């Protein structure tokens, strides 16, 4: 599916303003969409929307589900409007920091309120809301396994599911039936949370559509081991007879590094092909219930992937294996139509990957922070971007532009200024925003941090570290009319 020449802003939902300690699906998100509409921005990009876990550093890329939404994003004021909470229930609101998320404090405050809302819903006389809830449970086939998985995980919060007793780990029907009966209330609570998230997200998408804004979602190619996805769908993964990983994902050593062992289970692509990629079709179908466009993380993995024996610690012990390639995306087109995907192709040169992207019309990514500003024709310099890419000033995994620019050697800074014709009248973040907007890239993207000219202290994530990531938030008054007007002017000048 071909994208129109347009622009976008990345800001994960947790980073939005809000009075309950974390960005949510309420007024702060609606105000942000209004800002994007005023700025003539066509796309809002977010990270994966799934639940996060403290044990995984709150990373949205290590979620217990590729299908579920994060209950911490549920707008409590919306539950008041629905009648499941009273305004007095929300008081006192803790003195949350405005510029970052304290996940432990947010959970301590929000989780009891979410349970209160569920109890009032469950005790209320059956009516329209209960019919809508039942329809949601019927419509989403992943929901039952996910809610049961979370209920059982809560009972054994020190163990991953691979340490569960054999009958539960290997999903023996009698053991699952017994577990559903034992955890019936907790399962229903988990389903209620997903219904609330789904309702509020759909309402927010309607607001986005009214503002002329499309949602760009994100698809991590791999899922977490400790997830409902692996436990409930063992046939989709390369597991041993006890449903434990036989091989795990990573990347091989390259000159100057030792490679990486990510530890995620890898897919049994041969068996998935025999099933017409049913798990992936279900995943993409759910994704496009929540987003209009999707970024496919680590796109190389669909062409070939590095498989490391699960009992090996050294990434060098792995081997390249063939991915599904065009067969998967032909099946996607047959089942879902032409899907609007962005391929994350950074860091790898692979002709087969490039050919696959061209064949299906998936734009790749270009990030100017990877540029050598003194090398003529460098592919990461915006003036050399082809039409079939998405240009980013920064991403969720890089430094902010200001932080990057301050760390550049002086010669690289001079080459940057020469290449973009900088005259010193504009700060560096607006120089690069202008360059990316002016490029041939079909979609030009920036981050809220770059719009505000923030430094490394406002970085969203630093790969390879666990602490302090995914916490940054924007203050409500930061995105003002002056920034919106500046973006609106850029969109007009560069025909976006």
Nearest to 308 by CA among 300, 298, 319, 322: 319
Nearest to 11 by CA among 480, 445, 391, 341: 445
Q: Residue 27 and residue 181: Cα distance in Å, rounded? A: 38
Q: What are phi and psi of 445, to 5 degrees?
A: -125, 145
Is 344 a catalytic site residue? Answer: yes
On the question of a cis peptide bond just before residue 92, with omega within 30 degrees of 0, the verdict is yes
Q: Residue 176 and residue 165: Cα distance in Å, rounded? A: 12
**How remote is the C-alpha of 211 from its chain's centroid?**
22
Contact by Cβ (8 Å): 393, 380: no
Is 102 a catalytic site residue? Answer: no
Q: Residue 33 and residue 44: Cα distance in Å, rounded? A: 8
Residues comprising the chain, all counted: 496
Q: Residue 439 and residue 371: Cα distance in Å, rounded? A: 15
Burial (CB < 10 A; 0-12, 13-18, 19+), residue 303, is: buried
Q: DSSP 3-state assignment of 439?
A: coil
Structure tokens at 331: 């099946």
Is 397 a catalytic site residue? Answer: yes
Please pick, among 344, 345, 399, 429, the residue that the annotation labels catalytic. Answer: 344
Q: Residue 85 and residue 77: Cα distance in Å, rounded? A: 8
Contact by Cβ (8 Å): 2, 387: no
Q: What angle do CA 224, 221, 75 make, to 5 degrees?
A: 65
Q: Residue 236 and residue 230: Cα distance in Å, rounded? A: 8
Please pick, among 297, 431, 450, 471, the residue that the annotation labels catalytic. Answer: 297
Q: Residue 238 and residue 271: Cα distance in Å, rounded? A: 9
Contact by Cβ (8 Å): 236, 227: no
Contact by Cβ (8 Å): 186, 152: no
- DSSP E strands, 284-330: 293-296, 304-309, 319-322
CB atoms within 10 A of CB 276: 13
CB atoms within 10 A of CB 175: 16
Taking the alpha carbons at both ends of the chain, their separation in whole angstroms is 18
H or E element at residue 438: helix 428-438
Please pick, among 144, 327, 397, 414, the residue that the annotation labels catalytic. Answer: 397
Residues labelled as active-site residues: 297, 344, 397
């Amino acid at each position: 599916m071909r994208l129109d020449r347009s622009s976008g802003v990345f800001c994960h939902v947790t980073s939005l303003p809000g009075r309950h300690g974390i960005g949510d699906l309420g007024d702060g998100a609606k105000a942000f969409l209004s800002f994007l509409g005023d700025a003539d921005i066509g796309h809002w990009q977010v990270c994966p929307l799934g639940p996060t876990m403290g044990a995984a550093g709150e990373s949205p890329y290590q979620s217990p589900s590729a299908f579920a939404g994060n209950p911490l994003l549920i707008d409590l004021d919306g539950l008041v409007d629905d009648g499941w909470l009273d305004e007095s229930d929300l008081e006192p609101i803790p003195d949350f920091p405005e510029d970052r998320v304290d996940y432990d404090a947010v959970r301590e405050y929000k989780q009891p309120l979410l349970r209160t809302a569920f109890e009032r819903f469950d005790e209320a006389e059956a009516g329209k809301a209960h019919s809508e809830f039942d329809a949601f449970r019927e419509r989403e086939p992943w929901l039952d396994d996910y809610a049961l998985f979370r209920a059982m995980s809560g009972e054994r919060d020190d163990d991953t599911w691979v340490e569960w007793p054999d009958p539960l780990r290997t999903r023996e029907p009698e053991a699952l039936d017994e577990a559903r009966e034992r955890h019936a209330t907790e399962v229903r609570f988990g389903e209620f949370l997903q219904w609330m998230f789904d309702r509020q997200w759909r309402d927010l998408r309607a607001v986005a559509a009214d503002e002329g804004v499309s949602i760009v979602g994100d698809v991590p190619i791999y899922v977490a081991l400790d997830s409902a996805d692996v436990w409930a769908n063992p046939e989709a993964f390369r597991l041993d007879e006890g449903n434990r990983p036989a091989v795990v994902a990573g990347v091989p050593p390259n000159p100057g590094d030792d490679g990486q062992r990510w530890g995620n289970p890898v897919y049994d692509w041969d068996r998935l092909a025999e099933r017409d990629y049913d798990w992936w079709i279900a995943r993409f179908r759910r994704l496009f219930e929540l987003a209009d466009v999707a970024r496919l993380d680590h796109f190389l993995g669909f062409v070939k992937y590095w498989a490391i024996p699960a009992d090996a610690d050294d990434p060098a012990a792995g081997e390249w294996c063939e991915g599904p390639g065009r067969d998967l995306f032909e099946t996607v087109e047959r089942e879902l139509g032409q899907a609007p995907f962005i391929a994350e192709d950074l860091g790898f040169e692979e002709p087969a990957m490039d050919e696959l992207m061209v064949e299906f019309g998936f734009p790749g990514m270009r990030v100017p922070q990877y540029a050598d500003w003194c090398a003529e024709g460098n592919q990461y310099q915006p003036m050399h971007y082809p039409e079939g890419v998405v240009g980013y000033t920064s991403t969720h995994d890089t430094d902010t532009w200001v932080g990057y620019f301050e760390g550049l050697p002086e010669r690289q800074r001079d080459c940057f200024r020469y290449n973009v014709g900088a005259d010193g009248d504009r700060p560096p973040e607006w120089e690069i925003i202008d360059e990316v907007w002016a490029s041939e890239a079909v979609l030009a993207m920036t981050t809220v941090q770059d719009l505000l000219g923030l430094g490394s202290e406002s970085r969203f994530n630093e790969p390879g570290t666990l602490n302090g990531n995914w916490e940054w938030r924007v203050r409500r008054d930061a995105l003002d009319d002056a920034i919106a007007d500046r973006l609106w002017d850029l969109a007009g000048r560069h025909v976006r």
